[in-house]
Structure 1
Amino acid sequence: MSPLDFTGRCVVITGAGRGIGRGYAMELGRRGASVVINDISAEPAHAVAEEINSAGGVARAIVADLTDPDAGAAIVAQSLEHFGALDAVIVNASINSKRKAFPELSVDDLERMLAVNVFGAWRLLQAAWPHLAATGRGRILLTTSQAGLYGMPRLAEYATAKAALIGLMRTLAHEGASVGIKVNAIAPAATTRLTEETVTDPAALDMLRAMQPPHLVAPVAALLVHESCPVTGETYLAGGAHVSRAFTGETQGLTLPADGFTTEAVLQRWDAVRAETDYRVPRDVSETGDLKQKAEVMRLLKASGIVN
């Protein structure tokens, strides 16, 4: 198989000064991409750009804080000014959880997390969207987390933000289909600066660094933002030289006559409601619930012009 080539393609990566984002930048730079290194800190951003340029690649550092309402538009504008086009965006920047139990977290803690992970991503992607659409092959990669997918204790504000990105990814995948934009999500497992803020035992950190170095996430990210990427609206776990797909399944469930649909009747058949036999993986809301009933609902909605 021929190597995936990014020559002539401009890719913006947020949080690319260190860790996983740096790994993405080095991988894409090695493959010929013009890489925009965004980070909140100037020194690491310029260091990564210089490393790529010194190796014969093409990179430019753009220092910006995604909590700034104007940052997303500024990153896009500067990328277009320097490289003339925008082909892909990897939203990687994040901050660490306060690692507090839920009752101990404040609304400020949640707002701080959402400001980077959700509002920062939202503004950047809205600014980038028309330019990605103009190429007819735009690519977006959002960064979720196993905490957002499955939940983890003492990470409530982090999990909330990362789960929100799954809903955004799924919706943008639908909206992007008509203009050639593919949108996916990655849940990386790697030992980074955020890990070091949480895991303080040196032996444990050494073990994690050996098992899950940041650069082993990059091959999956490169595939998902390449123009040959075959999927959209999907979530992948990557780390430690492993990749897998995470998806939302739905049981076949239970449909009863309307006059018999009571709390007690449902409780009596609870095992049938929960049974994972013959579960399905809906592509969109038209494939959820009772499929015969949903087909009729969708027919009526289309007839009314509410959905197309």
Structure 2
Amino acid sequence: MTVTGLSQRVVVVTGAGSGIGRAAALRFGQEGAKVLAADLNGEAAKETVRQIEGEGGTAVAVIGDLSRQDVVDEVVTTAVRSLGGLDVLVNNAGIMDRMSAAADADDAEWERVLRINLTAPFMLTRAALPHMLESGQGSIVFTASEASLRGSSAGAAYTASKHGILGLTKSLAVMYREQGIRTNAIAPGGTITGIEVDIQEGAHGPEVIGSYARNIGRLSAAEEQAAAIVFLASDAASNINGVILPVDNGWSAV
């Protein structure tokens, strides 16, 4: 028996095809939730669904770029029509930048990272909110980053996008707490995932950031991050709202 209160709740997880997103989707499935796995990689999203169903759970996949309104609409419509509602939204999908310092970041890098890491989760949250407001309850969890808390963890674009996630998290927490909606975020430290960083050799940003790498400490498993996400989404965290939870083996304390 679980004590999370997530059984039969409908959970949307973005970036569910790998890493933290897949680990979270699987964990929600184990808690008895009905899971919508959204990802740009169709085969990866379908594999997550297969794994959840293989454990006796219920899941569907939606494939596409979440910075497109039609894909956002498909996610929300599928959750409501196919799974019966939308109780939890996990805005996890994201990409890294090239660790570029501001003077070296071109428009393409800046715009792509902000679009995927900040604009896309905003759009999905905006689309999900009417359904949560109608039901009078909901939980939203963002995957922020150590780069939300400091300037030494990533490049200018990624750091700005994740600081934006903190502001969005806190704004949502204040704006909708009286309507029964909680919004929180985890701030992962170094985590073993499949995310790739295309670092330009000899660039200023990576050279500076590298000098702080000794503070990272032990890398976490994706499942450790997933456990924090599920906790924040669950009834066990019923009075936790507007929190940015570092899951970083103490990196944020250094």
TM-score category, normalised to shorter length: 0.7 to 0.9
Equivalent residues in 2 for 1:201-216 (5 A)? 211-216=219-224
User: How many angstroms apart in 2 are the aligned matches of 1:67 and 1:159?
Assistant: 19
Equivalent residues in 2 for 1:4-15 (5 A)? 4-15=4-15
Q: Output the amino acid matched with 2:74.
A: A
User: How many angstroms apart in 2 are the aligned matches of 1:175 and 1:47?
Assistant: 36
1:24 maps to which residue? 24
RMSD of equivalent CA atoms: 2.2
**How many residues of Structure 1 are paired with residues of Structure 2 in the alignment?**
234
User: How many angstroms apart in 2 are the aligned matches of 1:211 and 1:149?
Assistant: 18
Gaps of 5+ in 1: 199-207, 247-308
Query: Residues 243 and 23 from structure 1, CA distance in 2 versus in 1: closer, same or farther, beyond 3 angstroms?
Result: farther
Q: Which has the larger radius of gyration?
A: 1
Query: Residues 165 and 131 from structure 1, CA distance in 2 versus in 1: closer, same or farther, beyond 3 angstroms?
Result: same
The TM-score, its normalising length taken from structure 1, stands at 0.71
User: How many angstroms apart in 1 are the aligned matches of 2:82 and 2:13?
Assistant: 15
Residues 1:235 and 2:235 are matched in the alignment = no
Q: Would you say the 8 A contact 1:10–1:34 is kept in 2?
A: yes
Q: Would you say the 8 A contact 2:97–2:197 is kept in 1?
A: no
Percent of aligned positions that are identical = 31
For residues 214-257 of structure 1, give each alpha carbon's deviation from its aligned partner in whole angstroms, at most 9, with x where no partner exists.
11111111111113422101100115xx58999xxxxxxxxxxx
Gaps of 5+ in 2: 200-215
Q: Would you say the 8 A contact 1:39–1:65 is kept in 2?
A: yes
1:114, distance to aligned residue in structure 2 (A): 1.1
Query: Which stretches of structure 1, 4 residues or more, deviate above 6 A after TM superposition?
Result: 243-246
Equivalent residues in 2 for 1:293-308 (5 A)? none
User: How many angstroms apart in 1 are the aligned matches of 2:119 and 2:219?
Assistant: 32
2:202 maps to which residue? none
1:212, distance to aligned residue in structure 2 (A): 1.6
**Secondary structure of the residue that 1:150 maps to in structure 2?**
coil
Residues 1:152 and 2:131 are matched in the alignment = no
The TM-score, its normalising length taken from structure 2, stands at 0.85
1:91 maps to which residue? 91
Q: Would you say the 8 A contact 1:185–1:234 is kept in 2?
A: yes
Query: Residues 228 and 98 from structure 1, CA distance in 2 versus in 1: closer, same or farther, beyond 3 angstroms?
Result: same
**Secondary structure of the residue that 2:115 maps to in structure 1?**
helix
| Larger RCO (CA within 8 A; separation ≥ 6) | 2
User: How many angstroms apart in 2 are the aligned matches of 1:161 and 1:128?
Assistant: 21
Q: Output the amino acid matched with 2:149.
A: L
User: How many angstroms apart in 2 are the aligned matches of 1:4 and 1:125?
Assistant: 22
User: How many angstroms apart in 2 are the aligned matches of 1:185 and 1:154?
Assistant: 18
User: How many angstroms apart in 2 are the aligned matches of 1:5 and 1:121?
Assistant: 25
2:187 maps to which residue? 187
User: How many angstroms apart in 1 are the aligned matches of 2:102 and 2:31?
Assistant: 43
Q: Would you say the 8 A contact 1:12–1:37 is kept in 2?
A: yes
For residues 277-299 of structure 1, give each alpha carbon's deviation from its aligned partner in whole angstroms, at most 9, with x where no partner exists.
xxxxxxxxxxxxxxxxxxxxxxx
1:218 maps to which residue? 226
1:108, distance to aligned residue in structure 2 (A): 2.1
